[in-house]
Amino acid sequence: MKYISTSKQAEPVSFLEAMRNGLAPDGGLYMPETVPVLDKAFWDSISEYKFSEIAFRIAKPWLNNELSDNELQQVIETAFNFSANVHSLQKQHILELFHGPTFAFKDFGARFMARLFSEKAKKADQRVTILVATSGDTGSAVARGFYKVSGVNVCLLYPKGKVSPLQEKQMATLGENVTALEVDGVFDDCQRMVKQAFTDSELNRQLTLSSANSINIARLLPQSFYYAFAVSELKKMGHNEIIFSVPSGNFGNLTGGLIAKKMGLPVQRFIAATNRNEVVPDFLKGSEFSPKPSVQTISNAMDVGNPSNFVRMLHLYGGSEKAMRKEISGYSYSDDQTRETIREVYTNENYLLCPHTAIGYRAADEFRRETGSRAEIVTLATAHPIKFKDVIEKETGQEIPIPNQLKKDLQEEKKSIPMSSNFSEFKAFLMDQYRQ
């Protein structure tokens, strides 16, 4: 299998090369030349398979010949040492994706990618150094995902005083192969320093640098596994007509669902749910796709004004906007509506939703009322409510108990290294730390 760029200029490459490159050299995003389709017999009997077996069957044709079956199985078993879970409410199902180490769905992508990087390092006999600029969520999932994974170093840059205390604990207390730099600046400084490192020829002669941002193909693929898992769980309950509602920002999660459908997963349609950053719902309702500066909301992991994965979505529909609009419905909500939904679902169902998930829930509810659809709707729960403790406790008056793992994380000591926003200081640090 070869991977091509959505901008069509870059050379086709293998999966592991596409992972290593992150962004294609022509600025496009990698996609498989053709999305592999699994045989109908597999999909028909999907409820007989465990999560790891489903993941293996889906991933195998993507990594065709790059990893042995044994290696791929190992990657999957060690990456997914936590589970997804379907929690059924009165009128919809919640696919809980927050049982991993950082309590959000990004653990699926980050942990899978980390182990693939390790396999690649082993094959090339070369240590890789991953540079990540983060404003919080991605950094914690990546830090945790790569922690103690052999053959890979991670260097994270985050803006001092600009990430939440919990996020800082999750990425800056690890040590070992994960180094956190607390940059005296803003997120844009962190991003500028990382970008400059990738183009610095002296650095790239001495070190093998790579990135791990959310557009990486190795983070996208595992996000299709849990859609198939959810269908397998619903089939066990006797349901066959299924719609997914996906709280979205950069639209990687939803793209994972479209990929699963393309591979043959029986899904009726998708609901794209956003906060006030509503360029995709606007597009789906008939407007042109027109990126805007992002606005801040309480569902802040979805504050994206120019979603990168839109080009991948369009690519999957063969460039047809019409085809995309036919299969995906879009809804967007304000912070007040988000808060209202958190309250209502707590009152009526005794179930706590994080602000992102609340948006997905509300969109599913509105879609049902508008269309009268009798299909089962599965809303993806992207984060554990504990990550948004203050918002949720204020709305519900209910104190959320802190999971034990998190209590432990909160007691760890910060190990980050202070860094100015000056590139030459950063470069000297990298040379000193990682030169082989």
Ligand X SMILES: *Cc1c(COP(=O)(O)O)cnc(C)c1O
Kindly determine how many residues on this chain lie close enough to bind ligand X according to the rule CB under 6 A. Answer: 15
- What Cα–Cα distance (Å) separates residue 197 from each residue in 62, 114, 192? 30, 21, 9
> Minimum distance between the CB of residue 429 and ligand X, rounded to whole angstroms?
28
The reply to whether 112 sits near ligand X by the rule CB under 6 A is: no
Given 18, 54, 104, 243, the residue binding ligand X (CB under 6 A): 104
The reply to whether 96 sits near ligand X by the rule CB under 6 A is: no
| Cβ nearer to ligand X, comparing 43 with 361 | 361
Here's the x/- map for ligand X, 251-290, by CB under 6 A: it reads as: xxx-------------------------------------
Q: Which of residues 356-385 bind ligand X (CB under 6 A)?
A: 356, 382-383
First to last CA, the chain: 32
| Cβ nearer to ligand X, comparing 46 with 342 | 342
Rounded Cα–Cα distance for residues 227 and 260 (Å): 7
> Minimum distance between the CB of residue 383 and ligand X, rounded to whole angstroms?
3
- Tell me which stretch binds ligand X (CB under 6 A): 175-183, 185-193, 194-202, 241-249: 241-249
Here's the x/- map for ligand X, 124-143, by CB under 6 A: it reads as: -------------x------
3-state secondary structure 85-99: EEEECCCCEEEECCC
> Minimum distance between the CB of residue 393 and ligand X, rounded to whole angstroms?
18
| Cβ nearer to ligand X, comparing 185 with 252 | 252
> Minimum distance between the CB of residue 66 and ligand X, rounded to whole angstroms?
25
| Cβ nearer to ligand X, comparing 402 with 428 | 402
| Cβ nearer to ligand X, comparing 120 with 315 | 315
Q: How many Cα neighbours within 13 Å face the side chain of 433?
A: 22
| Cβ nearer to ligand X, comparing 73 with 300 | 300
Find out whether 69 and 354 touch, Cβ atoms under 8 Å.
Answer: no
Contacts of 423 (CB under 8 A, 6+ apart): 192, 193, 196, 197
- Tell me which stretch binds ligand X (CB under 6 A): 22-30, 176-184, 250-258, 397-405: 250-258
Rounded Cα–Cα distance for residues 115 and 121 (Å): 10
| Cβ nearer to ligand X, comparing 245 with 253 | 253
> Minimum distance between the CB of residue 68 and ligand X, rounded to whole angstroms?
30
| Cβ nearer to ligand X, comparing 250 with 294 | 250
Q: Strand runs (DSSP E) across 302-372, as ranges?
A: 328-332
Rounded Cα–Cα distance for residues 379 and 384 (Å): 14
Q: How many Cα neighbours within 13 Å face the side chain of 416?
A: 24
Here's the x/- map for ligand X, 297-316, by CB under 6 A: it reads as: ----xx--------------
Kindly state the tokens that stand for 386: 């504990």
DSSP state of 320: -
Q: Which residues pair with 269 in a beta bridge?
A: 243
| Cβ nearer to ligand X, comparing 193 with 381 | 381
* Residue whose token pair is 């791990």: 212
The reply to whether 247 sits near ligand X by the rule CB under 6 A is: yes
Given 250, 277, 332, 341, the residue binding ligand X (CB under 6 A): 250
Q: Strand runs (DSSP E) across 107-203, as ranges?
A: 128-133, 152-159, 178-183
Contacts of 162 (CB under 8 A, 6+ apart): 135, 186, 187
Find out whether 82 and 100 touch, Cβ atoms under 8 Å.
Answer: yes
| Cβ nearer to ligand X, comparing 135 with 232 | 135
> Minimum distance between the CB of residue 57 and ligand X, rounded to whole angstroms?
23
CA 4, chain centre distance (Å): 21
Pairing of strands 376-381, 93-96: parallel
Contact residues: ligand X, CB under 6 A: 104, 106, 137, 247-253, 301-302, 356, 382-383
